[in-house]
Each structure stands twice: as C-alpha cells, then as structure tokens.
Structure 1
C-alpha cells in the first residue's frame, strides 16, 4: 500500500525512471487495449450481417453493433479528457465529468456513486477525478460500490474515492505508479501506466496522490492546489 505521508514524487531507491517515449508507448497500448474489445465486437456484428448463412441472427448482430458502438463512443469521450488534451477548456463542469465516468462504469461490474461538491474543476483536478474513478472501479473485480467525492478545501481540491466490495484490491503496479516508481518486474504495464500518469500530472500541478487497501475496501485520494490567478 502507499503511504499518505510519503510525497507522490518520492522515487529514491527505485532505479531510473522510464523515458517519455516509453510512457507514451505504454499509454497508447493502454488505450488500444480499451478500444479493441468494442471494435472487435462491431466487426463481428458486421461479419454476421454479411454472412448469408446467418441471416436469422441479423437482429442479434444489430444489437451487438449498437451496444459496442455506444461503448466505444463512451470510452473515447472519457479518454479524450482523462488522458488527452482534446479541449482548450481549463475549467470543467462536474456534471459533464459525471456523464463521462458513468459511461465507463456502465461497462464495469462496480457501481459509481458520484458525490462531487465542487462547482467546477480545473484541468488537473478533472483528469484526476476521472482517472481515480476508473482505478477505483478496477479495484472491484467482483463488483461493489465506488463512492467518489471532490470538494474545495481552502485553496486546494480534495478528491477521495472508496471502493467497497468483495475482494477489493490495490494492484502492486497501481500502488507503485501512484508513488512514482518504475514498473515492477513482471507487472502489467496497462495498470501501471495510468497510475504513473496520474502521479506525473499531479506532481506537475504541485499535488499529491496516494492509495491504500485493507479488507474489502480500497481508498484513493488526491490533493491538488488551485491554479494561481
């Protein structure tokens, strides 16, 4: 588990950090992994439509294409804000962010309870909210509930997510990434790179992020200073 008293940029004793090109490659691979499932399903549906021996499955094929198309659109919309720089906006409406997060949770076993009190979120806080929400959902492989909170505390935005469910877990590679440590030997880079990316942009913003897991609960938290006027 990560230590809340350890700064997010503490990397002493963990070897050289990965190059920017390697991080970009890992992020690209992560996105491709997220998109390939609905794309493959759409192709399968189209193949059924074109198969003269499968015309009795036309309705099923159309349903598969429609559902997979919605999933792909929701994943793309989420990714553009969570990982990209698709918008020139520096301030985000939490209601729009909730739509993005709920779109992703619609395809997970966990349920999301959105309790963001902040009236608006800057870009770093918006990215943190979305990424923490997704990591918190992934911490519940057998389902459960993620309660996500975000509020202004003085000159900072405070974000907290509690994942409660059977066999809640914090993957070692996720914990390492949030601490700013390099990918552990034999670990899956898709889980690590998201956490490491969160560490990078929150450190750049002067913030901190940490997580811990105990019993059937995993907790993620971040503090991000407000941007100077």
Structure 2
C-alpha cells in the first residue's frame, strides 16, 4: 500500500508539472514577442515578470524530476546542469554537478530530493557538490553557518518516520522511501560547517 501511494504521488507530481510547463512556456514566448516589437515595453514590471517566469520554469523542471515518476530513461548532463543553473543562478547557494555522463532518471530524482534536503540545512547559502562513482552518490554541502534539524535528518535514517512534516519538508519523507524501493539506503552526517548525504 505504501508503494502504491508513492507511485500515485509521483504520477500526480508528473501530471501537475507537465500541465504547468506549457502555460509558463507560453508566457515566456509572449514576453519574447513583446521584446521584438517596434516599441517594446520596458521597465521594472517587465523585468519582474521575466525573472518570475524564468524562476517558475526552472522550479517546475526541477520538481518534475524530483517529484515525478522516474521511468527508465537517462538524463544528460546538459539537461541537468541547465535546470540547476536556471534554478540557482540568483541564489545564495552555489551548486556543482560533477558527473559527466548521462545518469538514470531514478538516480537523478534521488539526487534532486537530496539537494532539497541540503537546502534546508543551508538557509544562509553556501556551496553544494553532487558526485557519483560506480553508482554511489554523495552530496556535500559546506557553509559557514548550518541549520541541521535533527528531527528532519533523523527521518532520512528512518529513525522517526511518524513525524508530522510541513509541506516544505516532504523531501525528507520521500527520499528514504524511494531510495529503499531502489535498493539503496540513505546515509547522512554533519558537523559545524558541512553536511553530507550518501546513497
């Protein structure tokens, strides 16, 4: 039953993202057409709309992989780095994706969920790095100041699966369950300036 619920949730995530990306793209196309007009509108309002559309598009693309159904296809480095660049270019968090080769969508989904977990521990920004070697993944975040909530991070080790979560923290519940279905186990550790997730 739990597995059925997770599968249904990922299908819902895929459907929502699929349906939202089209109107967001249409708005972006409309902005491009306006910019090519003889007297294109200018000002902070247009800049705000453009920035907001770009951010919404990046988030939907990120969520589509992180919360959507995985399937069996591969995801290329160019697509992954494009999503991450667009999402974090104006963020206090610098994120580096090290794998050069295309990766299974299921593994990228786990990595994206883990990135969201790292974000919660780095509210003041910092640097995060995603690496992979022979199917083993490691995500490491470093910052001068971290905020690691032991209750949330305990969920990754399935120490407290019954903890009620805020919507912003749903990734902590999904990551270990989806990893377990893939035959993987989530391990995490932290100190004063770094936090690590491995699977």
TM-score, length-normalised on structure 1?
0.64
Give the gaps of 5 or more residues in structure 2: 28-40
1:179 corresponds to which residue? 157
Aligned residues: 171
Of residues 77, 88, 97, the one that matches 1:105 is: 88
Please say if residues 190 and 196 of structure 2, whose CA atoms lie closer than 8 Å, have aligned partners that are also in contact: yes
2:59 corresponds to which residue? 75
Secondary structure at the counterpart of residue 215 of structure 1: coil
2:32 corresponds to which residue? none
Secondary structure at the counterpart of residue 43 of structure 2: helix
Correspondences of 1:1-40 after superposition (within 5 Å): 20=5, 24=9
- Structure 1 runs of 4+ off > 4 angstroms? none
1:94 corresponds to which residue? 77
Kindly tell me: are residues 126 and 99 of structure 1, through their superposed partners in 2, closer, same or farther at Cα, counting changes over 3 Å?
A: same
- Offset at residue 213 of structure 1 (A): 1.5
TM-score, length-normalised on structure 2?
0.72
2:109 corresponds to which residue? 127
Please say if residues 177 and 194 of structure 1, whose CA atoms lie closer than 8 Å, have aligned partners that are also in contact: no
For residues 95 and 189 of structure 2, the distance between their equivalents in structure 1, rounded to whole angstroms, comes to 19
> How well do the aligned residues superpose, as a CA RMSD in angstroms?
3.1
Higher relative contact order (CA 8 A, sep 6+): 1
For residues 121 and 170 of structure 1, the distance between their equivalents in structure 2, rounded to whole angstroms, comes to 29
Secondary structure at the counterpart of residue 148 of structure 1: strand
Give the gaps of 5 or more residues in structure 1: 1-16, 43-56, 223-229
- Offset at residue 173 of structure 1 (A): 4.2
